[in-house]
């Protein structure tokens, strides 16, 4: 039991640290994207330029964290996940500009996701393959956190992040196959069905709606999701959960008229939320549903 608590503590701290890294990476990626867009002749607004003016636009490893408002390089004690944000009350120590809740929520959210993943991991930890699956999953969560924040802020999913997720998903699929010692032909059938249900279905929606209902980035993101779910039932569950969560989020805004039918709402975060719930709790949901039907 003590070892379990230690593991939880390590995962919470690691999740918070990587959440902080993910939030900082979002801004660095935004700076690179705007620089690229401007080089391609696209118009970049003054507001966008102001947001990234103090970033060096080099790399996540080379850049040092700075206040986006005044450009001051942050000291190490201002970068402690969760603690620094609370101690500074969400403001820069120098210029008192608001840091924003996104960074804080990323740290708390990823710490929580890491802990919940350990508590409800459906694939076990007994073998080295199962442990490798869990580590791969944690890496995917970090990239999904970047996707979530970027899409929420700018309604855009970066293909380069999806490519990295896809590579990890392919690795996860191979580990899944060896962990459960599946028959290769039946496993390929399941993957094929998942690809049809997820990117295939949403690809048709993308084409039929002429990009109005879903974006191409959403379709691409569903490819690694299909590789990781393992069974077609979970693909159907993901679709249901993503739309259900989206309805819960959007409906209050429609009722209060803060949102209209023409308001663009990023769908990526709903897909990500549905995917995470399906990965961790899909077995319980599907089992409950099938048992209820049999009754």
Would you state the pLDDT for residue 100? 74
Ranking 131-135, 190-194, 202-206, 285-289 by mean pLDDT, the lowest is 285-289
Domain closes at, from 60, 91, 120: 120
- Whether 114 and 147 map to the same domain: the answer is no
- Whether 114 and 129 map to the same domain: the answer is no
Total count of domains within the chain: 2
Secondary structure letter of residue 79 according to DSSP: -
Domain closes at, from 120, 150, 175: 120
| Mean pLDDT across 91-110 | 85
Ranking 1-15, 44-58, 86-100, 162-176 by mean pLDDT, the lowest is 44-58
How far does the chain reach from its first CA to its final CA, in angstroms? Answer: 37
**Chain position carrying tokens 């709402």:** 265
- Whether 67 and 132 map to the same domain: the answer is no
Mean pLDDT estimate for the chain: 88
pLDDT tens sequence across 147-175: 999 999 998 999 999 999 999 999 999 99
| Mean pLDDT across 241-263 | 85
- pLDDT range class, residue 294, cuts 50, 70, 90: low
Contact in structure between 165 and 143 (CB atoms under 8 Å):
yes
Q: Does residue 1 register a pLDDT over 70?
A: no
- Whether 112 and 132 map to the same domain: the answer is no
Q: How much is the pTM?
A: 0.91
Domain closes at, from 93, 120, 147: 120
- pLDDT range class, residue 178, cuts 50, 70, 90: very high
Domain span at residue 49?
A: 1-120
| Mean pLDDT across 216-225 | 96
- Whether 146 and 29 map to the same domain: the answer is no
Would you state the pLDDT for residue 55? 66
pLDDT tens sequence across 50-71: 667 666 555 545 566 777 777 7
Would you state the pLDDT for residue 43? 81
- Whether 134 and 251 map to the same domain: the answer is yes
- Whether 42 and 99 map to the same domain: the answer is yes
pLDDT, greater one: 42 or 133: 133
Q: Enumerate helices (H) and strands (E) in the chain, giving the number of each.
A: 11, 0
- Whether 132 and 112 map to the same domain: the answer is no
- Whether 185 and 293 map to the same domain: the answer is yes
- Whether 128 and 105 map to the same domain: the answer is no
- Whether 132 and 270 map to the same domain: the answer is yes
Q: Does residue 250 register a pLDDT over 70?
A: yes
pLDDT tens sequence across 106-139: 999 999 999 999 999 999 999 999 999 999 999 9
- pLDDT range class, residue 20, cuts 50, 70, 90: very high
Distances (CA, A) of 255 to 132, 259, 269, 275: 45, 8, 21, 27
Q: Does residue 25 register a pLDDT over 80?
A: yes
- Whether 71 and 168 map to the same domain: the answer is no
Contact in structure between 136 and 170 (CB atoms under 8 Å):
no
């Amino acid at each position: 039991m003590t070892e379990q608590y230690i593991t939880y503590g390590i995962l919470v701290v690691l999740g918070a640290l990587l959440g902080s890294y993910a939030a900082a990476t979002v801004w660095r990626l935004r700076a690179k994207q705007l620089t690229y867009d401007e080089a391609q002749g696209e118009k970049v607004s003054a507001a966008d330029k102001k947001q990234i003016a103090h970033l060096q636009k080099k790399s996540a490893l080379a850049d040092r964290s700075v206040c986006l408002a005044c450009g001051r390089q942050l000291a190490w004690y201002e970068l402690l996940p969760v603690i620094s944000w609370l101690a500074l009350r969400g403001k820069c120590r120098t210029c008192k500009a608001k840091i924003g809740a996104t960074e804080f929520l990323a740290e708390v959210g990823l710490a929580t996701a890491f802990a919940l993943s350990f508590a409800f991991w459906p694939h076990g930890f007994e073998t080295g393959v199962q442990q490798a699956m869990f580590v791969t999953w944690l890496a995917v969560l970090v990239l999904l956190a970047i996707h979530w924040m970027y899409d929420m802020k700018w309604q855009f999913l970066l293909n380069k992040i999806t490519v990295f997720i896809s590579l990890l998903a392919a690795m996860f699929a191979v580990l899944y196959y060896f962990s459960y010692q599946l028959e290769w032909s039946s496993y390929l059938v399941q993957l094929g069905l998942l690809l049809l249900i997820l990117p295939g279905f949403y690809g048709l929606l993308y084409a039929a709606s002429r990009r109005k209902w879903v974006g191409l980035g959403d379709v691409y993101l569903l490819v690694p999701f299909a590789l990781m779910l393992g069974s077609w039932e979970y693909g159907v569950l993901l679709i249901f959960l993503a739309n259900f969560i989206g309805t819960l989020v959007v409906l209050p805004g429609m009722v209060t008229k803060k949102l209209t039918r023409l308001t663009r709402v990023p769908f990526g975060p709903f897909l990500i939320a549905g995917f995470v719930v399906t990965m961790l709790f899909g077995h319980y949901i599907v089992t409950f549903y099938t048992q209820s039907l049999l009754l």
